[in-house]
A and B are shown apart, each in its own frame.
Chain A
Amino acid sequence: MEFLGHYNYWIVIFLMMTGFYVVISHSNLVRKIIGLNIFQTSVFILYISMGKMPGGTAPIVAEGVTLYSNPLPHVLILTAIVVGVATTALGLALVVRIKEAYGTVEEDEIHAQDESL
């Protein structure tokens, strides 16, 4: 169990780095935002993993249940998800405006246009 004790965290780090890789290696702006979403979801998993109590149940009061998982990370992440989609929408709106202004959503083509000005 010692090995599996950190499995959640390692996968979280892997997902985080995958998202990070997408952000820094791909030049397409829509892909970068998907990369940020992957990164974001990995942070959600990190928080929820920390709140898990072995043998506990969901934090809703029920008869005959004494052990609940920690509700605090759930609250933080619940709001973070909805805020996340709102900020993603803002990022995508910026991408749409960049497309209209530059005619492309590839980062290096945008840089090339800026340098030629």
Chain B
Amino acid sequence: MIKSDSKPRQVVRPVITRLLMPYILLFGLYVQFHGDFGPGGGFQAGVIFASGIILYALTFGVARARSLLPPDSLQPLAALGVLLYGAVGVASLFMDGHFLNYSVLSSDPVQGQHLGILLIELGVGITVTAVMVLVFFAFFGRDEEGEV
């Protein structure tokens, strides 16, 4: 279905992908870290980041994308995000607060809240990106390997 060998008529897609992909990934990072101030956050950023990688995979083939981001390294990342989230909660427990009460993370409660939100949004973003890319590889990689 998705051929990685580009025929003569497939010139526009690789060029546009090369042009757009850095901006999509950069926009994903912007949404991730600017989510406190404008619309955005870990969920959206994760999906945008994943869609950038999916665009690359659709254009240049799943095999190339998989060598870029090996599933063996994505699987631990998916777990790492959830663990980071939980770790922030446990850290606030150890600092004499309630579970996921970020105010105790810093001497200033508002600073603590900022730090906590930044960390858990990062956890959410990592998990969502990793899961979306893994799911995509699972669906499209199956097709490609079937052809082998």
Contacts and interface: CB of A to CB of B under 8 A. Distances in A.
Interface in A45-102: 58, 60, 78-79, 81-82, 85-86, 89, 92-93, 96
Interface residues of A, number: 12
B8 interface: no
Interface of B: 37-39, 41, 43, 46-47, 128, 131-132, 135, 138-139, 142
Contacts of B37: 60
Interface of A: 58, 60, 78-79, 81-82, 85-86, 89, 92-93, 96
Contact of A60 (B39, B132, B139): B39
Contacts of B135: 86, 89, 93
Contacts of A85: 47, 132
A81 B41 CA distance: 14
A47 to B, nearest CB: 16
A96 B142 contact: yes
A96 B139 contact: yes
